[in-house]
Amino acid sequence: MSFGLSIRGITMDASDVLSLCKRRGFLYPSYEIYGGVAGLYDYGPLGTAMRNNIVEIWRRLYTLGEGFVEIDSETIGPEVVFKASGHVDEFADKMVKCKVCEEAYRADHLIGDRHPNPGSLKETELDELIRKNGIACPGCGGELSSVEEFNLMFKTVIGPGSGRVGYLRPETAQGIFVNFPSLYRYNREKLPLGVIQVGRGYRNEISPRQGVIRMREFNMMECELFVDPEDKGWPRFKDVKDEKLKLLANDGRELEISVGEAVEQGIICNQVLAYFMWFTQEFLKAIGVDGARLRFRQHEKDEMAHYAADCWDAEALLSFGWTEIVGIADRGCWDLSRHIKFSGVDMSAFKRFDTPQEVERDVIKPKYGVLGPKYKALGSKIGKAMEATDPSLIQNDSVTVEVDGQSYVLGRECFDVARVKEKVSGVKVIPHVIEPSHGLDRITYTCLEHAYTKKEDMEMLRISAAIAPIKFGVFPLMARDELDKVAMDIDQEIRYSGIETYYDDSGSIGRRYARMDEIGTPYCITVDYQTLEDGTVTLRERDSQAQIRVKVQDITIVARAALCGANLDQFVVGESRA
RNA sequence: GCGGGCGUAGUGUAGUUGGUUAUCACUUAACCUUGCCAAGGUUAGAACACGGGUUCGAAUCCCGUCGCCCGCACCA
């Protein structure tokens, strides 16, 4: 594919990156002293710091930038939540496999109409039906294995004894949906309402592979944006409509196109989805994901999740191939509708009209004076039922209502039809949900792999300064003659100003620079003999290896300016060094 | 779950017709040295995945377990 060609030449072995990550404290395989567990990884000191930086940038973009709110919901949920979300049925498939061709099938599908409700059967019952009916592999006719449940959610029990069945959440999203009524009230009953959540999700993957790309316990940053279903525009869309996106549409087209055109041409189904695709792209670039190795791929129609109306994945090119790191879906009203159905709670939003509308309509007015004597105690019940009946249902001058399971036909003598005026100040709508959902571990790993460079056995991470776990290395050129003391003071001053540093006085200066390069520290400050004479130090930039001299007294201001990517010329004293 | 491959210091490795104290490099730490990009020296630390068997003797052969990697399948 054409996006691949532009990056040909960057060949990467994930094991190099993972090896460095383990060696330098970014990632450790979990429980390694016991042999490890596939699909579980721990973040080391540097990995944790870096991931925290990514989360903080993301959080600020959504809360400060877009005015969204953040919540933190539980990771354990009762079964009904995941019945409503569809995960219980989607996850807990009863599977059989052909012993010959190894094709896997859903057991209940194979039963077909040999049973009225195959989906309700237990494994042993399914087994029995398959054997009794001599059902074989539909593909090759081979013998089938016994039925096994493939449950990709971690099941648990809430409370002692037999308790309630619960699951570890497979996504953070449901925690937002179930809180929608409270959040909507919090937002003073207005749409749009954006809610974000950062947290862990759990999926008992059959076969986790590829390092942190598919984990059994993983970190997500999810946003659920509730919008008016009839208005999927976005106020800031006009500001970004000329920005470019690289798209791989599900009609097979690959194109680089502006956000505005993509919506006009119907490639992306609405403004708000397109806006957040751009927003996602900017976020990813800001933390150091390589734009040349980033694209958006539209889900195939049959690939689309059970809830999605349209879905685009932000994919990064990694050594494993193009890998989904963010999914941006229009989930329509699916989630809220399901929770309405399962909980019985009204989770609609009230869409107030600008001016209340007067609506005239006909209503049935029962004549209680006639109903009472005729039906006695049932009279008022029948009357209420008649009031609730639409006058268009009147047939042959009579209306039929059902009360306590009994039908009553009421003739014209029992009611009038009257025209009434009603004030309607709005309508109830079920909000639609736009969901940018980020795989935090995959994003973190992408930053590491895209930052990884190797020159003649020298490995380094060109991590963006914004997310680098250590911002400044501080060294004395020699650990003597007071140089170390001065360097320690500078180190402390920068740390106390809120910037992460690493003090190092062991080994040659080159080795110390190399150590910092390897963990992606963008800048190093070195105290040398000139420092003692004129109060200046060298500031060395990682990628260019260029050095400038700056005043010790300016050091925290310079440090801050450097991290913001500001031009440092105004701080330079004397000659710079290549 | 199936098929294949593989488990030796933090990392990468040598070592299998069974044979003394398990090789080398990098890394790490301490000291010396070192006036800006992985210099050098001395010393130190650190490994045969686990369990059982065969044998006078097992990293090496056999059996089992566990784990990892790759493919198949699965992937909301």
CA of A242: how far to CAs of A66, A73, A135, A263, A537, in Å? 20, 37, 58, 11, 44
A229 lies in the same domain as A377: no
pLDDT digits (tens, 9 = 90+) for A530-558: 999 999 999 999 999 999 999 999 999 99
Average pLDDT, chain A: 85
Examine the fold and report which residue of A131, A158, A185 is the final residue of a domain before the chain moves on.
A158
CATH number of the domain at A566, please: 3.40.50.800
Minimum CA–C1' distance nucleotide for A541: B37
A216 lies in the same domain as A263: yes
Examine the fold and report which residue of A428, A459, A479 is the final residue of a domain before the chain moves on.
A428
CATH number of the domain at A96, please: 3.30.40.230
pLDDT digits (tens, 9 = 90+) for A365-386: 788 888 888 887 777 878 778 7
Q: How confident is the model at residue A10 (pLDDT cuts 50, 70, 90)?
A: very low
Residue A442, judged by CB atoms within 10 A of its CB (0-12, 13-18, 19+), counts as buried
Q: Is the pLDDT of residue A13 over 80?
A: no
**Domain range enclosing A101:** 91-158
Q: pLDDT at position A1, please?
A: 27
Q: Is the pLDDT of residue A185 over 60?
A: yes
Q: How far is the CA of A32 from the C1' of B40 (A)?
A: 37
ipTM (interface predicted TM): 0.81
A289 lies in the same domain as A376: no
Q: Which residues contact A145 (CB under 8 A, 6 or more apart)?
A: A96, A97, A98, A99
Strand partners, A347: none
Residue A160, judged by CB atoms within 10 A of its CB (0-12, 13-18, 19+), counts as exposed
Q: How far is the CA of A304 from the C1' of B1 (A)?
A: 27
A12 touches strand B (CB under 7 A): no
A23 touches strand B (CB under 7 A): yes
pLDDT digits (tens, 9 = 90+) for A302-321: 666 666 778 999 999 988 88
pLDDT digits (tens, 9 = 90+) for A474-496: 999 998 889 999 999 999 999 99
What is the count of structural domains for chain A? 4
Better-scored residue on pLDDT, A12 or A446:
A446
Dist. CA A523–CA A531, nearest whole Å: 18
A521 lies in the same domain as A413: no
Q: Answer yes or no: is A525 within a domain.
A: yes
Which 306-335 residues of chain A approach strand B with CB closer than 7 Å?
306-308
Q: How confident is the model at residue A95 (pLDDT cuts 50, 70, 90)?
A: low
A185 lies in the same domain as A288: yes
Better-scored residue on pLDDT, A504 or A126:
A504
Q: Answer yes or no: is A163 within a domain.
A: no
Q: Is the pLDDT of residue A574 over 60?
A: yes
Q: pLDDT at position A351, please?
A: 84
pLDDT digits (tens, 9 = 90+) for A59-78: 999 999 999 999 999 999 99
Minimum CA–C1' distance nucleotide for A537: B36
Better-scored residue on pLDDT, A42 or A90:
A42
Chain B nucleotides reached by a protein CB under 7 Å: 1-2, 7, 10-12, 27-30, 34-40, 49, 66-76
